[in-house]
Amino acid sequence: MRNEYLLLTPGPLSTTESVRSAMLKDWCTWDDDYNKEIVEVIRSKLTKLATEQSGYTSVLMQGSGTASVEATIGSAMKSDDKLLVVDNGAYGARIAQIAEYLNIECCVVSPGETAQPSLDEIQDALINDKAITHVAIVHCETTTGMLNPIQDVISLAKSHDKIVILDAMSSFGGIPMDIGELGIDFMISSANKCIQGVPGFGFVIAKQTELEKCQGRAHSLSLDLYDQWHCMEANYGKWRFTSPTHTVRAFYQALLELELEGGITARHLRYTTNQKALVAGMKKLGFTPLLDESLHSPIITSFYSPTHSDYQFKEFYLHLKEQGFVIYPGKVSNADCFRIGNIGDVNPDDIERLIIAIEKAMYWEMAA
């Protein structure tokens, strides 16, 4: 059950052995010991993690995190609604692409991949385009590691009475926030991110009054957010279609382990400690972060690639994998870089070992 290497990626990520072990038992999707004692407990725990305010509910959706984003966009918006998307990376751009596929009118505020969105530009769009009904933004844009200023953007959107959709895929469970206090209407995340489960489903935590308005709006049968929620509400956690039972059971275990760690605040502290140690160690080796450190998230960090003529990412990657670490290639369109995540079952001593491994990998590559 031990892993051959540590996944330093923004999900899938390295999980504990106890989370993986939870998948070794089969579950019946009709039984109360699964639906009432696992699924319904997960739904309750997620809602409590997201906000202390009443009036929120949660729904689990089969598939990738993107499937849950598409389910939300396709269920929350009527045919004559219009979406404003904040796009400063691949995942903001993906939201706009989903809207295009669903024939939902969309306008985009795009400051570029290394900049935070301009509040003035968003304000101008909201003032000048009265057709806009919804605003969508990514919390942690893992294209670069950017942490977006969601409080300011959401406050602005709410001052214009817009529905807010937050893609918190890579931040929920790892960064403290109260979505009720922020005024978020729909928040989307995934099992294999900061809760530290495995891939297989995403989830949406929403204002119940807004979710109830979604009835009959969905553009897809399998991605009908309202029908999935209604089925779970009416049948004590029963999924409409085949439930990813093993993944769900692993997630339940991951939630228990989050509580044992001390909750989101404690996990955020560990992730932040990891990230700061990573940046400090990489700087000592001569690497430069892509973003200004004021823009960093505790989730993943992008670094410029070495300019040495012998450097090749693939070789660098393989040297690190041989030493027990897997990192991510870059995803920025106009910069040669790579990314290192520090979420999952990763601790400060792992980061120390990583820095040593990177130094060795660079020596081997340049000496080759």
Domains in the chain (CATH in brackets) are 18-260 (3.40.640.10), 262-365 (3.90.1150.10)
Please provide the DSSP assignment of 94-149 as one string. HHHHHHHHTT-EEEEE---TTSPPPHHHHHHHHHH-TT--EEEEESEETTTTEE--
Q: Are strands 82-86 and 105-109 parallel, antiparallel or unpaired?
A: parallel
Answer whether 182's CB lies under 8 Å from 154's CB.
yes
Q: What pLDDT band is residue 367 in, cutting at 50, 70 and 90? A: low
Specify the pLDDT at position 11: 83
What the block records as the tokens of 123 is 């304000």
Reported as a single tens digit per residue, the pLDDT across 3-31 is 899 999 988 999 999 999 999 999 999 89
Mean pLDDT for all residues in the chain: 96
* Distances from the Cα of 182 to the Cα of 44, 226, 241, 264, angstroms: 20, 23, 33, 17
Q: What is the side-by-side strand order in the sheet with 82-86?
A: 56-62, 201-207, 186-190, 163-167, 134-138, 82-86, 105-109
Q: Which residues are annotated as a binding site?
A: 339
Q: In the predicted model, what is the mean pLDDT of residues 306-332? A: 92
Specify the pLDDT at position 366: 59
Alpha-carbon distance of 104 to 354, in angstroms, equals 45
Specify the pLDDT at position 286: 95
Answer whether 132's CB lies under 8 Å from 85's CB.
no
Alpha carbon 361 to its chain's center: 30
Specify the pLDDT at position 334: 85
Q: In the predicted model, what is the mean pLDDT of residues 321-333? A: 92
Q: Which residues are annotated as a binding site for substrate?
A: 339
What pTM did the predictor assign?
0.96
Q: What pLDDT band is residue 308 in, cutting at 50, 70 and 90? A: confident
Specify the pLDDT at position 239: 97
**pLDDT at 336 exceeding the cut of 60:** yes
**pLDDT at 368 exceeding the cut of 60:** no
What the block records as the tokens of 238 is 């029963």
Q: What pLDDT band is residue 327 in, cutting at 50, 70 and 90? A: very high
**pLDDT at 333 exceeding the cut of 90:** no
Least confident of 151-165, 187-201, 221-235, 308-322: 308-322
Specify the pLDDT at position 365: 58
Alpha-carbon distance of 264 to 224, in angstroms, equals 30
